[in-house]
Amino acid sequence: MPRHLSLLAAISALGLGLVACKGDGDGIFSRDSGGGIFGGDSGDGDGGGGGGGVDPPDCDDDQLSTDPSPGPDCLTGVISCGDRIEGTTEGGTNQIEGEVYEDSYCFVPFENYDGPERAYELMLPEYTTAKIYYSFPCQDMAIAAFRWAPDECPTFGGETTFVCEGDGLGRSGSVEISNEFEEKRFLVVVDAPSGTEAPFALRVECSSVE
């Protein structure tokens, strides 16, 4: 084969190889179109402007409670399948920090999580998948959903969490968790770096495990 034809064949093969490597997905650590990481998605919801399946809160809403989390421990409240809630991280606890997310492999994006967080208990029935849509229209924040057993909040080095899905950087998206066995307890946390306090909205949509 002439040399120039061999070169063209090599370039063509390389191009095909690059296309094959890219495929339909870019791996579990790739960003989706909304800036999500590992388990997040964007813009696939019916939130009427939320972009992630939940209507965004009003950034100037001064009616959102800034009361300290009532507990026990770091809990602000309870969220269930079908619920939509609005809240603000202002006034929340500051117990769950970056090393906890790293230790639990949550893969949320910031360098520190020294800002206040809001944490909600979610009891997920057996054979159920929950898609937790979030909207952070006012500040970049992050969400994590821990599989959680004890009453205490997750701690670094503690045996308090078993599974975690996290997402952030974008202003809207979702994380998904599944439970194929008996009812399980999860902890849904909205958190942010130092100096960040802002409203957020969450909605939990549940379906049967396929």
Examine residue 17 and state whether it is found in any structural domain, yes or no.
no
pLDDT value, residue 153: 83
Q: What is the mean pLDDT of the chain?
A: 76
Examine residue 42 and state whether it is found in any structural domain, yes or no.
yes
Mean pLDDT of 28-36: 25
Residue that wins the pLDDT comparison between 34 and 182: 182
Half-sphere exposure of 111 (CA within 13 A, CB side): 1
pLDDT value, residue 32: 28
Domain total in the chain: 1
What's the CATH code of the domain at 170? 2.60.120.380
Tens of pLDDT, residues 62-87: 999 999 999 888 999 999 999 999 99
Examine residue 4 and state whether it is found in any structural domain, yes or no.
no
Residue that wins the pLDDT comparison between 122 and 180: 122
Mean pLDDT of 180-209: 93
**Could you give the CA distance from residue 175 to residue 131 in angstroms, rounded to a whole number?**
6
